[in-house]
Structure 1
Amino acid sequence: MKISEILTEKLISITLHPKNKDEAINQMIELADNSGNFIEIEEVRRSVFEREKLVSTGVGKGFAIPHGKTDEIKDVTASFAVLENPIDFDSIDSKPVKFIFLLVGKESLLNAHIKLLSRISRIMNKDEFREKLSNAKSPGMVLKLFTEEEQNYLDI
């Protein structure tokens, strides 16, 4: 499964302005709900926040990847945001987060969930890619950048 298969323009925002981590996660869940894949949004919310309580998904370099697993979704679902104003996310490097990629997987598709988390992390770890995302002016441009970068990743 590719990032470009689960991320669409309507699941990307360059205009979110959360004040804190919890608000950011809630806004990302609401954005992901545009997919039409959620059967029970409160179960999605519970799974993501439950995972976040274990250890922060602020993985460093201004990036967070909140995620959860539940069978209360029809299919693997994602949303992505570039924040104008970075926020504290309890990141491992203590730096504020500018990029948030929410991933909600099905309990029954654990392998796909883990592979997607790995792919997203690897792509987002590239300084040059994050710089391009910072300069993207539309959700369409963000999606194009992910599609191109993922192709580079697959060519490795």
Structure 2
Amino acid sequence: MEIREILNEESVILDLKSTTKEGIIQELVDKLYDKGSITSKNKFIKALKHREKIGSTSIGYQMAMPHGKTKYVRKASVVIGKSREGVDWPSIDGLPVKIIIMFAMPQSEGNEDIILMSKIAYILGGKDVSERLLNAHTEKEIVGVFCEV
């Protein structure tokens, strides 16, 4: 699966309204639900919370990659949100999180989710990418960062 197959400008929220981690998660889950990617908001949020208990999904550079793999996901999807103020999210560098890349993966025996997340993590592997995302002003700019590699 290629990133272009599941990420487009409609997958981006440029100005997240919430100022809390829980609120940000809700906004992104609402987007997944509106896109038809998940069948149950509450069940998917439960899967996300379960994953966060294992360890924070913050990857540093003001970014986090929350993800859930559950039978309540219809199709593999990614949504990206940007918070102007940043949100308190336990992070390895102590900085507030401003870019959130949320994955929704269907429960299956394959390892598509790991491959996709690895591709995106590779793209996010440096401060330069974080700065480009933080300075992006349009959905197209944000999607472009992920699709040009």
Q: Answer whether TM exceeds 0.5 for this pair.
A: yes
CA contact (8 A) 1:79 1:101 kept: yes
SS across alignment from 1:93: coil
Q: Percent identity among equivalent residues?
A: 29
Q: Report the equivalent of 2:126.
A: 126
CA contact (8 A) 1:10 1:34 kept: no
Does 1:136 find its partner at 2:136? yes
RMSD of aligned alpha carbons: 1.5
What is the identity, as a one-letter code, of the residue corresponding to 1:28? L
What is the identity, as a one-letter code, of the residue corresponding to 1:5? E
* Deviation of 1:145 (Å): 2.3
Q: Report the equivalent of 2:20.
A: 20
Q: Report the equivalent of 1:117.
A: 117
* Aligned pairs for 1:76-155 within 5 A: 76-108=76-108, 110-148=110-148, 151=149
CA contact (8 A) 1:11 1:34 kept: no
* Deviation of 1:109 (Å): 5.0
CA contact (8 A) 1:39 1:73 kept: yes
CA contact (8 A) 1:51 1:67 kept: yes
TM-score normalised by the chain length of structure 2: 0.91
* Deviation of 1:110 (Å): 4.5
SS across alignment from 1:108: coil
What is the identity, as a one-letter code, of the residue corresponding to 2:122? R
What is the identity, as a one-letter code, of the residue corresponding to 2:34? N
* Deviation of 1:125 (Å): 2.0
* Deviation of 1:78 (Å): 1.4
Which stretches in structure 1 are left out of the alignment for 5+ residues?
A: 152-156
TM-score normalised by the chain length of structure 1: 0.88
* Deviation of 1:40 (Å): 2.0
CA contact (8 A) 2:57 2:65 kept: yes
CA separation of 1:34 and 1:10: change in aligned 2, threshold 3 A: farther
CA contact (8 A) 1:39 1:72 kept: yes
CA separation of 1:60 and 1:40: change in aligned 2, threshold 3 A: same
CA separation of 1:17 and 1:74: change in aligned 2, threshold 3 A: same
Does 1:66 find its partner at 2:66? yes
* Consecutive aligned runs of 4 or more in structure 1 exceeding 3 Å deviation: none
SS across alignment from 1:98: strand
CA contact (8 A) 2:87 2:97 kept: yes
Counterparts of 2:93 and 2:134, CA distance in 1:
19
Which stretches in structure 2 are left out of the alignment for 5+ residues?
A: none
CA contact (8 A) 2:33 2:40 kept: no
Q: Report the equivalent of 2:37.
A: 37
Structure with the bigger percentage of helix? 1
CA contact (8 A) 2:73 2:107 kept: no
